[in-house]
Amino acid sequence: RLHLVTWNVGTASPPPDVTSLLQLNSLGPTMDMYVIGLQEVNSRITNFLSDLAFDDPWSIFFMTVLSPLGYIKLSSVRMQGLLLLVFVKHIHLPFIRDIHTHYTRTGLYGYWGNKGGVTVRMSLYGHTICFMNCHLPAHMENTEQRLDDFEKILEMQFEGENIPSTLDHDVLFWFGDLNFRIADYGIHFVRESINNKRYNLLWEKDQLNMAKKKEAFLQEFIEGPLQFKPTYKFDLYSDVYDTSEKKRKPAWTDRILWRVKNLCQHASKEVEFSEEEQTISVTLNNYISHMSYGISDHKPVTGTFGLELKPLLSDPLITLNPEGEWSAEHDVLISYSAVPEFPSSAWDWIGLFKVAFRHVNDYVTYAWVEDDEISSNKDSKQVYMSAAEIPDMGGEFLLCYYSNNLQSIVGISQPFQIQPNRTLIEKNLTQEENSWMQKPDNLESLDEF
């Protein structure tokens, strides 16, 4: 289950609550993956430079919301105001590989990143998936420029060997502030149609729908029905369309589309195929806007999808476990085994993480798999971790194996308990009790008073 968000946040700070945006109160099964595409994240030079060194406020915000629920930030990519975040449940980490990011500038003839696309691709259970967050040129008259820019973004290539081009991925999601407008109709007709919820009257004049009928490269992209109000342009903190002097005409600028490669191939060959041949399918469960969010002049749009996969990978590359009972009072051992074809590296490491960790660099401590190895046989290897590095208070933790060659976590243990360092805790308690017993001289006069 995939939940995809697109939102032009208009340089605003995160809202106090995103429960409904992320459907965290949904009665159905929880999501397996969240993909969040933002546009117009505050990119003033001071903000942007600090965000290069540290996570930006929006990334921190979503990590704070999602990490306690068992999601980690798998990947992110930022280009000025464009930000794309991918979160995934722990259980899927060993089956997500070959993660790569890319960005394409299209503003100022390709020299400026205020417009363009940011992309994350990966292999998910052996299937190639690509997510593309775009911010295309604004204004009614720029339809051709929007299409030209999108074609340029589609043509970009990921760095690395054997990585397919964008359109060669099994599934491609295209979303963002695409800036397509409603042509021909005047503002009064558009607003009246919206007020009467007769959105279908506007569909045929939506520039993206019109382009899909003419442009071959768009015809393979699928979109759910636009059964929600146009998401642009609103007065801030309201559901009232633009009352400024410009009185912008409402439009469905914020969109989510997808493309399944196998369906395109079969459709082009005009042959019937059985479900057994189709190893991946995408189902749209809902496609909605969220009118309660008013921090920008756009309303966020979400798409909830079911991805049905025939796993091409069923075993993790690495299986690892803590050995025996772990305690902060003594050194501990980790055992792991790798499949024969695993491309190990001297720079691989095993990290100790709190269960609610945020991202791959959020480890408590780590051990180098080669430097800290103490035994090895054909079935498994052992690595030690020093007691000095283990949190004295103990708690619930996970072990993750990070592959330097694959640039991802390729093995994860079950959660386990680390017993606290009782000796140190008792010593600290004794010290605290003694400090309370030794009353300062200046308090004696207060007792007399």
Strand pairing partners for 251? 232
Query: Out of 6-20, 93-107, 300-314, 417-431, which region has the weakest mean confidence (pLDDT)?
Result: 417-431
pLDDT single digits (tens) 343-352: 999 999 999 9
Question: What is the phi/psi pair of residue 366, to 5°?
Answer: -150, 165
Read off the pLDDT of each residue in 255-279 and give the average, rounded to a whole number: 66
Give residue 318's pLDDT. Answer: 96
Please name the fold of domain 318-431: Immunoglobulin-like (2.60.40)
- The pTM is what? 0.89
Q: Do domains 2-309 and 318-431 have the same CATH topology?
A: no
* pLDDT over 50 (residue 136): yes
CATH number of 2-309: 3.60.10.10
Domain ranges in the chain are 2-309, 318-431
Give residue 108's pLDDT. Answer: 62
Which position has the token pair 């469960």?
Answer: 285
Q: For residue 375, what are the contacts with CB-CB under 8 A and spacing of at least 6?
A: 381, 382
Helix, coil or strand: residue 84: strand
Q: For residue 123, what are the contacts with CB-CB under 8 A and spacing of at least 6?
A: 96, 97, 98, 129, 313
